[in-house]
Structure 1
């Protein structure tokens, strides 16, 4: 299949590079962020790729502004920030065709409803990825972990099998994205949202690596467990079934923090230290809103949402140190 990646940020570049250079399939990029587009074009339509801060080298890519793109992909892959997606979709709307599919594998919740405005339900795939990636600068990406590290899960919105998803999974396997398939659409998406409501938000507030959170011996019991319990309470009240039990989610937080990616700064931190808005409203805030709608309690999720926004406001008085740069 041919793929068009919308958003040449950390995950967009990782997926695109792996599909193009490992799987050998055609990949285009559409970059709605003008500063990123200009930087990559100034580099000769090349991006720099490293792994664990080593072996940094340039790779050729095809990149376009939304208005100038004339390609006809089999699948669009959206890796925008939640707050940027509506404008990107509006700019790209004349390019969408009925035979095309859309994969939304973004952080947080809200993007599926946006995709449904432009694509039929049987053309929408949702996904989540536990794949650590840093964007050092526009057009400069750093893959964290050994080749093939991390995993990803995908599900059709309809919950039904499809030849498109089967072919995509074959390409993703060849790309070393370690994909698996699920028939539980909401469970697939919420797995990452609930995980991020702990790791991303708390690490961002304290400007820490994932592994450093474990320095507090009550992190799992006193912080992760209440957040996860509130999220599961709300999901279960709606009837959503997660891919993991509550205990398995806690174990996942423990494993990622101590074994898989202890040195990783999560994506929300990357936005925070670069002065950008975070996606906390689409993660912790979304969970708290869900709890309000179904009548369960999520005061901890709501408080974390406010605290991340407070940390954003405090940047005016106490500018954060960008440890992504110091760590290079």
Structure 2
């Protein structure tokens, strides 16, 4: 009995305190990141957006599976050997492929996760309490972005693994190494694309005090690039049209095509289409001399990556610029 009392009163508390002291305490930044991830996962907003993407994914997968035998029976198709890529690109016209629908839903996911990242904290009074703690100020804005992008990356990686697993069960085949690389690159581009809209919405959340104003501004920017951007460029082309065949007409056409190509949605569509359809050899117009003698075939993963390298770097650069501006504005903002 005496030994038991000594164990419970002296030895066990000492061992427990030593273990607690030896275990490293999590850093404040990681605590804030885990808190942001938990808030996103538990929010109904994220759950609704996730269900929308899942519904779109399964709908596109069903259409591609029903259209898959017809697509694989085409002997003139240079992409018929890439079965798992066909699951993401094959369609019968009733529903666009998954990567096209993702270019439409991805901005909504990014905007929905970031439009009230900062201003909601300030309106609820929690921002002052967090800033009163002995932590660097930039931990908050960095944790907002890191937590949201971690949830987005986890969602897209899980979704790609789910699609690959269903494809293996349905077709009875396993993906080749090149198909795995292309799907992984597709997932990375999706994460970068959603991260751009996430940073843009966080920027508006820092700039505007009300969450409704930041949400409407972000949606207006998305609608501008999705609907009105090409219409404005087309009207500009007709207004300043030069005589056909002249050098001025060629330069104007090239400039307008460049303006269309730098839109975020166009960058995403071009990059994903080239990676998921290996037979795409160029994203710009080809002359008759360039197409003469060309044999329809698929490019290697390295060649396709070189084709989409400008689009990929453009998306990454736009994401970094938006985050840098929001970081600068937040660090210079007076919080009361």
TM-score (norm 1): 0.27
Higher RCO (C-alpha 8 Å, min separation 6): 2
More strand by share: 1
Structure possessing the higher radius of gyration over alpha carbons: 2
Instruction: Report which of the two has the higher share of helix.
Output: 2
**TM-score calculated relative to the size of structure 2:** 0.26
